């Protein structure tokens, strides 16, 4: 889908590598004298400029779609529950280009609108064409097929006007990235093949090499900032500059995570009295936590207290991007499926941090972390790091 996902950036990087590789081969075979300095400069600079220009166009496209332009007008077809869920998801991502304008409900208690309140119910499956015409819609999205027979589904597909109407099926499997999904028609059946995620070999080496290179560069560049923060923390009151805490990481192994101290010395002793008053069902997060020092409040607002975790990255305990490293007390409350977070190293930043931070519920946090685990890519890490910088400056959800 144009304007969403990371595939566009991957294609740009891949095309740039192939172009310069072809140029190098032609120059070698034809004995053409090409300045190496030009190649070394043009390749990275050209790739960055291309990616940035595409990103700028995306921002424009997303803003236009948020205003209702360049979008597909969608009629949902399925049960009340599934249609409500898909409507809610699409309406929170208007930049994807799907504007839900109506629903034809096949099962469930029907009223004038879906429970989320803004999408009108326009009848059942037999009323799809009337709904398309009345709402000037061009796309039919099947949110669930349980109550629709294969014959009726095929008839609906045949009845749509070619070139004007489009049909989209929503599978039950959610939170799976595009590169892992392949549709292969077999004997007239559109089989969806979903590759299982792998965390070994080249994938693991690439991520580790990226972590070492970037964390080393950041530590060198930020060394004056680290020194200034350490001095500010030391002068803020009694207690050590660095705060260490045991966390659970890769494969369930324990490690000591490093942070700049942002709380008073007896913060852990006062935790029990505050725990019942804030946080979601598993993680404790409290706005205006009285244990946070004045310097610590500034550090937390801009996530500067997390910078020493770059040393954890160099040690191999953590990665630059990954799920949040939990406390052992939190792990004891995990449901079985949540342990999939430990298939990768915990990160200094992650998908949940750039999607709402402490404003998110526990279920939303888990869903985002597991989505990252299931769909990791180097391009995705770069996008998350970029979004981290924006989230830190926005300061929303930081406490």
Three-state DSSP class for residue 109: coil
Q: Is 109 within 8 Å of 42 (Cβ atoms)?
A: no
Kindly report the pTM of this predicted structure. 0.68
Quote the Cα angle for 341-342-346, to 5°: 85
Residue bearing tokens 């890769």 = 250
Beta-strand runs (E) in 119-236: 139-142, 166-169, 181-186, 189-194
In whole angstroms, what separates CA 56 from the centre of its chain? 19
Show me where the domains of the chain are located.
7-66, 72-170, 202-394
- What's the full length of the chain, in residues? 399
Please give the pLDDT value at position 229: 93
Q: Return all residues near 257 (Cβ < 8 A) that are at least 6 apart.
A: 244, 245, 246, 247, 309, 312, 317, 318, 325
Integer Cα distance of 114 and 111 in angstroms: 7
Give me the average pLDDT of each 10-residue run along the chain (399 residues).
69 85 84 76 85 87 84 91 88 85 85 84 90 92 84 88 88 66 72 72 86 94 94 84 92 93 71 56 60 84 90 95 89 87 91 73 82 83 86 61
Considering just the CA atoms, what is the radius of gyration of the chain in Å? Answer: 25
First to last CA, the chain: 35
Please give the pLDDT value at position 356: 66
The tokens of 61 are what? 């496209």
Which superfamily, per CATH, for 72-170?
NAD(P)-binding Rossmann-like Domain (3.40.50.720)
Q: Is 146 within 8 Å of 114 (Cβ atoms)?
A: no
Integer Cα distance of 88 and 100 in angstroms: 9
Three-state DSSP class for residue 308: coil
Task: Kindly report the number of other CB atoms within 10 A of residue 144's CB atom.
Answer: 22
Dihedral over alpha carbons 286, 290, 293, 296 (to 10 degrees): 10
Q: Is 325 within 8 Å of 249 (Cβ atoms)?
A: yes
Beta-strand runs (E) in the chain: 72-79, 98-107, 139-142, 166-169, 181-186, 189-194, 242-248, 254-260, 319-321, 347-349
335: left (phi over 0), alpha (psi -120 to 50) or beta: beta
Please give the pLDDT value at position 383: 85
């Amino acid at each position: 889908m144009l304007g969403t996902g990371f595939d566009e950036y991957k294609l740009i990087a891949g095309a740039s590598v192939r172009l310069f590789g072809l140029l190098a081969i032609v120059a070698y075979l034809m004995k053409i004298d090409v300045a190496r300095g030009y190649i070394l400069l043009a390749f990275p600079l050209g790739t960055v400029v291309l990616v940035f220009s595409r990103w700028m166009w995306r921002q424009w496209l997303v803003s236009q779609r948020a205003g209702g332009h360049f979008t597909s007008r969608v009629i949902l077809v399925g049960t009340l529950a599934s249609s409500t869920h898909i409507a809610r998801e699409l309406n929170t991502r208007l930049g994807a280009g799907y504007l839900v304008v109506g629903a034809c409900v096949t099962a469930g208690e029907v009223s004038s609108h879906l429970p989320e309140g803004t999408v009108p119910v326009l009848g059942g499956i037999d009323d799809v064409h009337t709904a398309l015409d009345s709402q000037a819609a061009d796309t039919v999205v099947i949110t669930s097929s349980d109550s629709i027979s294969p014959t009726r589904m095929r008839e609906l597909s045949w009845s749509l006007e070619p070139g004007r109407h489009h049909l989209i099926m929503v599978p039950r499997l959610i939170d799976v990235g595009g590169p892992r999904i392949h549709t292969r028609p077999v004997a007239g059946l559109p089989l969806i093949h979903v590759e299982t995620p792998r965390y070994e070999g080249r994938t693991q080496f690439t991520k580790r090499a990226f972590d070492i290179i970037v964390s080393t560069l950041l530590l060198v560049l930020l060394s004056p900032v680290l020194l200034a923060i350490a001095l500010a923390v030391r002068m803020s009151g009694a207690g050590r500059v660095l705060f260490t805490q045991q966390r659970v990481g890769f494969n369930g192994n324990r490690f000591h995570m490093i942070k700049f101290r942002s709380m008073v010395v007896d913060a852990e002793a006062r935790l029990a009295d505050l725990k019942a008053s804030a946080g979601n069902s598993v993680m404790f997060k409290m706005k205006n936590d009285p244990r946070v020092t004045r310097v610590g409040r500034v550090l937390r607002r801009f996530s500067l207290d997390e910078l020493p975790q770059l040393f954890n990255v160099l040690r191999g305990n953590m990665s630059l991007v990954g799920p949040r490293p939990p406390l052992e007390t939190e792990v004891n409350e995990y449901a079985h499926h949540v342990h999939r977070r430990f298939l990768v190293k915990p990160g200094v930043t992650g998908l949940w941090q750039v999607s709402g931070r402490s404003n998110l519920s526990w279920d939303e946090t888990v869903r985002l972390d597991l989505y990252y685990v299931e769909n990791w890519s180097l391009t995705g890490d770069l996008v998350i790091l970029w979004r981290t910088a924006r989230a830190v400056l926005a300061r929303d959800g930081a406490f």
